[in-house]
Amino acid sequence: SAVISQKPSRDICQRGTSLTIQCQVDSQVTMMFWYRQQPGQSLTLIATANQGSEATYESGFVIDKFPISRPNLTFSTLTVSNMSPEDSSIYLCSVSPLSDTAYGYTFGSGTRLTVV
Amino acid sequence: TQLLEQSPQFLSIQEGENLTVYCNSSSVFSSLQWYRQEPGEGPVLLVTVVTGGEVKKLKRLTFQFGDARKDSSLHITAAQTGDTGLYLCAGLYGNKLVFGAGTILRVKS
């Protein structure tokens, strides 16, 4: 399965600023996803990062707040813009397997964001 | 509305006990996956079930997929302290993975 490197692993940011999270995969993957997770809770899908086109956002998430880039098949970034304390969470990127989506998705280790 | 209802949300048991976690939905999924997550890490796949009625065993863990492919269960036999973690069921909905609420399992020695 793919190996994901996600950076930074954690950050403490001032409200009103923006943070860009990077997700690097060691192989080419078709689908990349960004999730948000409160500690000890489940994952909520933010958006699907599409290579060569705009990301597809889930209900409740908008591009102005969470702009996403996907310049190639191995890399994506998620920016959390104009942060407020409510954005404090764990953000994870994930990739689907190339050949058969019935197999497991691989996740990065996550970025723990605290907004003060 | 949660597509996948997972229960219980929290489970605290003694080492050696058995437990079952349930994942239910009104929707049919093409596959259902179980993940385990430890603090500071991303979820790691335990198993994928694809066929209705399927049963898969992974050492002390037994996974079942309902005949109608709407529900699944995870049964752990003789739990160990190393089983402690967050267990998540996830259904493949189109090409998106939708997660249940998760079960925090704590196994005490």
Q: Which of B42, B45, B96 sits opposite A48 (nearest CB)?
A: B96
Note the pLDDT of residue A14.
Answer: 98
- Looking at residue A100, its pLDDT comes to 57
- In percent, how much of chain B has pLDDT > 90? 81
Between A82-86, B46-50, B62-66, the lowest mean confidence (pLDDT) is in: B46-50
Nearest CA in chain B to A49: B96
* Minimum-distance CB partner of B102 among A33, A42, A112: A42
Residues counted in chain A: 116
B61 in contact with chain A, both atoms CB, cutoff 8 A: no
> DSSP for B15-55?
TT--EEEEEE-SS--S-EEEEEE-TTS--EEEEEE-STT-E
Of B42, B44, B92, the CB nearest to A101: B92
Q: What pLDDT was estimated at residue A101?
A: 53
| pLDDT confidence bin for B17, thresholds 50/70/90 | very high
Q: What angle do CA A72, A74, A77 make, to 5 degrees?
A: 75
What does the pLDDT read at residue B29?
86
**3-class secondary-structure state, position A9:** coil
**Contact at CB, A48 and B102, closer than 8 angstroms:** no
Partners of B11 on chain A (C-beta within 8 Å) are none
Which residue did the predictor score with more confidence, A40 or A58?
A: A58
C-alpha to C-alpha distances, B82 to A110, B57, B78, nearest whole angstrom: 22, 18, 11
- Between the alpha carbon of residue B99 and those of residues A45, A52, B69, the distances in Å are 9, 27, 15
- Partners of A101 on chain B (C-beta within 8 Å) are 30-31, 92, 95
Give the pLDDT confidence of B68-97 residue by residue, as tens digits: 999 999 999 999 999 999 999 999 877 788
Sign of CA dihedral A27, B90, A39, A113: positive
**8 Å CB contact of B86 and A40:** yes
Here the tokens at position A78 are: 């998620």
Instruction: State how far the Cα of B5 lies from the Cα of B1, in Å rounded to an integer.
Output: 10
Q: How far is B45 from chain A (nearest CA, A)?
A: 6
Q: What pLDDT is attached to residue B31?
A: 86
- Which pLDDT score, from 0 to 100, does residue B92 have? 83
A-B contacts (CB, under 8 Å) = 63
Residues B33-39: what's their mean pLDDT? 94
In this prediction, residue A99 carries a pLDDT of: 61
A7: part of which helix (H) or strand (E)? strand A4-7
First to last CA, chain B: 37
Torsion sign, CA atoms A49, A101, A111, A14: positive
Question: pLDDT tens digits, residue range A50-102?
Answer: 888 889 999 999 999 999 999 999 999 999 999 999 999 999 999 987 665 55
Q: pLDDT digits over A1-26, tens only?
A: 789 999 999 999 999 999 999 999 99
Determine the residue of chain B that is closest to A5 in CA distance.
B42
